[in-house]
Structure 1
């Protein structure tokens, strides 16, 4: 019986980690955009 919830739990954990990774990448992209805007504003 313990073999059935095991893969499901692993899949859910991997999905959660991938979601966190996507959110982290989005946040990094947003911060990079903000820094680029600040640098451009200072340069002009």
Structure 2
């Protein structure tokens, strides 16, 4: 099964308010992902 990038789910980062797409490393916990990167997660004030 091939998944096209255009069909990947997206979310808005809680820190920078930019959209980010699903990544394979988030496959098991996509519902809990709030930040687009480690940088945003570290600046979550």
Alignment TM-score > 0.5, same fold: no
More strand, by proportion: 2
More helix, by proportion: 1
Select the structure of larger CA radius of gyration: 1
TM-score (norm: length of structure 1): 0.21
TM-score (norm: length of structure 2): 0.21
